[in-house]
Each structure stands twice: as structure tokens, then as C-alpha cells.
């Protein structure tokens, strides 16, 4: 039987932990490498940089601090424009299950705007009380220490726009704070900051590497994080958030453009989502204020579920130009989304 070690504060890494990043982040860094001639010409060399602090490793590749600053700035800028990773399957449910009992935060080398885009588009932005992006705090150990020292760190969001003002303003013990991550470098940062570390097996580094670095547990499936980190006796409930997060049209279009340009694919429009009112019994039992999950979200009388309706394929003119295909994809996606 799995021995649990509950945590009052849970800090999630973003890339490789919450979102699938191996392909998406390498595609971004590959462009930066080509621009600055860093010698990181394959995926494995790039993944090796993530065994420590990415920004420190990039500086080691550059012969001047000016070049290092330019490389980091270019990488963060490209993440902001070209990085559209998918969530790890099951992690949205994990966030919803943990938010009612623990204060959640995100600590990432990625740009804050990218973190916000990912969390918002997946409907979990209000589940997190704190976010530390690489543009704000590149040193993760420092970011963790700032989080621990914040007297208000116990005030979670509970999947609500409002903070839990009823929480006590006290400094909580480090053994109640845990970093969930997929990389050895993050584990080292957590240990240096004096907090616990839990690994996930679906990211950059293997379970053996994470164990050797000092994690207390490696999750094979996302749901194991709930079993391991949720306080004993806590209600097995999730937060009442919108089940169909919205994706900005321009972001969806740019994502399709990147994929089509890289792989030469042509695709039809995205499925349309049609709102269908729930049965009366479902509406009567929808979670509301004071529900078991602890959320402060009001029950919406007009709550609906969304049903996907496959659209008719949109023909794409045969062309040898990837950019021409991408422009048609963007137009097709916009027409489809606006038609909902």
C-alpha cells in the first residue's frame, strides 16, 4: 500500500510535469540554436541542459555575457510566440482534486505569459495562488525560498478568483511544502531550498535519475499524485470549474500553423462545440458555494455541457508552399470558431 505524505503547499513545475514538452520545447530551442550557433544540434543535447538550471547551462555555452543575455531573451520571446504544449492527460483532474485542500503554485523557467496562457486555456488558472516564471525569477531555489517566506502562502485560490482569506497568516513548515517536477535540476533546487521533492515519470528524466537526485516518490500515473499528496481524510472531491476551457482563436491558429509548417500536414477545421442544457437532476446537484470541494464558485442556473459536432472538411488547395497551407489553416480555424 502506498504510504502518503500530505502537503499543505504544492509547487508544480510546468514543462514536462503539467504539460507535454519534449517536442514542443525542443522545436523552440532548435530555432534559437540555429540563430546563435550554440552547438546544441539534437534533442538529447538539449535535454541534457535541463539536468541543471537551463539559464545557467545556456550561459556556459556562450563566450560573453552579452551573447548569453541575447540567447535567453530570444528563447523566452519564442516561447511566448511559438510554444503551445498540450496538457499531460489527467493533470487537469489532479489540479482540481488537490486545490481544495492545498495551496498550489507554479514554478517554471518559462515566461509568465506562457504559463498564464497554458493555465487559462485549460481552465485551471484560478486553482493556483502563486506563479513564478523564468522572466521574473530565473533561479528556482530563490523562487522556492520566496514562496516559503511569504506569510500569506497558506491562502489558496480553491479554483476561485478570490483568495482564501480565512487561512492563517503563519509561516508554515518546509516539510509541508513539496515541489512536483520531472527534472533533476528542479529536484536539486528543491533540496537546496529545504523542501521536499516528488518526481513524475512522464517528463524529461527517468524515475531512476529522479530517485538518485533525492525525490521521495516518483509517480507513474498522474492520479498517484492525489493519493500521495492529499491529506488523509480529505474529501475525494474536485472543484466546480468550467469543464470546457476556451482556447483563444489566434493561439489555436498559430498552433496549427506551427504544426503544419513543421510536418507539412493539412487538416480540417476543429470540431464545433454546441451547448446542450443538462437534465434537471444534474442541474439540481451541481456544486455551488459551500460544496465539499471548498470552492467559492457560484452555481450557474444556465450551466450546460458541450457536445462536439464534427464539421464538414474544409478543402485545402494543393500547394508546395508550407506558408500558403498555414494561412489557409488559420482562416479555416477562425471561420469555424466564429461560427459556434
Question: Which pLDDT score, from 0 to 100, does residue 52 have?
Answer: 72
What mean pLDDT value characterizes the chain? Answer: 76
pLDDT tens by residue, 88-99:
999 999 999 999
Burial 186-197 (b: 16+ CB within 10 A, else e): bbbbbbebebbb
| 99 contacts 41 by C-beta, under 8 angstroms | no
Question: Which pLDDT score, from 0 to 100, does residue 233 have?
Answer: 60
Give the three-class secondary structure for 130: strand
Predicted structure pTM score? 0.64
* Ranges of H-type helices in 50-111: 54-61, 65-82, 91-98
Question: Which pLDDT score, from 0 to 100, does residue 74 have?
Answer: 93
Question: Which residues of the chain are under the pLDDT cut of 70?
Answer: 1-4, 151-154, 167-175, 232-340
Question: Which pLDDT score, from 0 to 100, does residue 170 have?
Answer: 46
Question: Which pLDDT score, from 0 to 100, does residue 51 have?
Answer: 75
Question: Which pLDDT score, from 0 to 100, does residue 123 have?
Answer: 95
Amino acid at each position: 500500500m502506498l504510504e502518503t505524505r500530505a502537503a499543505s503547499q504544492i509547487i508544480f513545475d510546468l514543462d514536462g510535469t503539467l504539460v507535454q514538452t519534449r517536442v514542443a520545447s525542443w522545436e523552440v530551442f532548435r530555432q534559437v540554436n540555429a540563430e546563435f550557433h550554440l552547438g546544441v544540434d539534437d534533442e538529447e543535447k538539449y535535454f541534457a541542459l535541463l539536468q541543471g538550471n537551463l539559464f545557467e547551462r545556456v550561459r556556459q555555452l556562450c563566450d560573453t555575457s552579452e551573447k548569453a543575455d541575447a540567447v535567453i531573451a530570444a528563447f523566452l520571446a519564442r516561447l511566448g510566440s511559438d510554444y503551445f504544449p498540450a496538457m499531460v492527460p489527467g493533470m487537469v483532474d489532479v489540479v482540481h482534486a488537490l486545490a481544495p485542500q492545498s495551496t498550489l503554485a507554479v514554478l517554471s523557467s518559462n515566461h509568465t505569459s506562457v504559463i498564464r496562457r497554458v493555465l487559462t486555456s485549460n481552465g485551471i488558472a484560478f486553482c493556483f495562488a502563486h506563479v513564478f516564471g523564468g522572466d521574473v525569477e530565473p533561479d528556482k531555489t530563490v523562487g522556492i525560498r520566496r514562496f516559503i517566506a511569504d506569510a500569506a502562502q497558506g491562502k489558496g485560490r480553491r479554483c476561485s478568483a478570490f483568495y482564501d482569506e480565512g487561512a492563517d497568516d503563519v509561516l508554515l513548515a518546509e516539510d509541508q511544502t513539496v515541489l512536483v517536477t520531472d527534472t533533476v535540476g528542479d529536484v536539486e533546487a528543491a533540496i537546496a531550498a529545504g523542501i521536499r521533492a516528488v518526481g513524475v515519470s512522464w517528463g524529461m528524466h527517468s524515475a531512476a535519475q529522479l530517485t538518485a537526485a533525492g525525490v521521495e516518490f516518483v509517480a507513474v500515473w498522474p492520479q498517484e499524485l492525489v493519493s500521495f499528496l492529499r491529506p488523509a481524510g480529505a474529501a475525494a472531491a474536485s472543484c466546480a470549474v468550467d469543464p470546457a476551457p476556451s482556447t483563444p482563436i489566434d493561439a489555436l491558429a498559430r498552433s496549427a500553423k506551427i504544426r503544419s509548417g513543421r510536418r507539412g500536414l493539412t487538416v480540417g477545421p476543429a470540431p464545433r462545440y454546441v451547448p446542450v442544457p443538462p437534465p434537471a437532476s444534474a442541474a439540481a446537484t451541481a456544486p455551488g458555494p459551500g460544496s465539499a470541494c471548498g470552492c467559492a464558485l457560484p452555481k450557474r442556473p444556465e450551466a450546460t455541457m458541450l457536445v462536439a459536432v464534427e464539421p464538414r472538411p474544409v478543402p485545402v488547395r494543393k500547394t508546395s508552399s508550407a506558408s500558403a497551407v498555414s494561412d489557409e489553416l488559420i482562416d479555416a480555424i477562425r471561420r469555424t470558431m466564429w461560427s459556434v
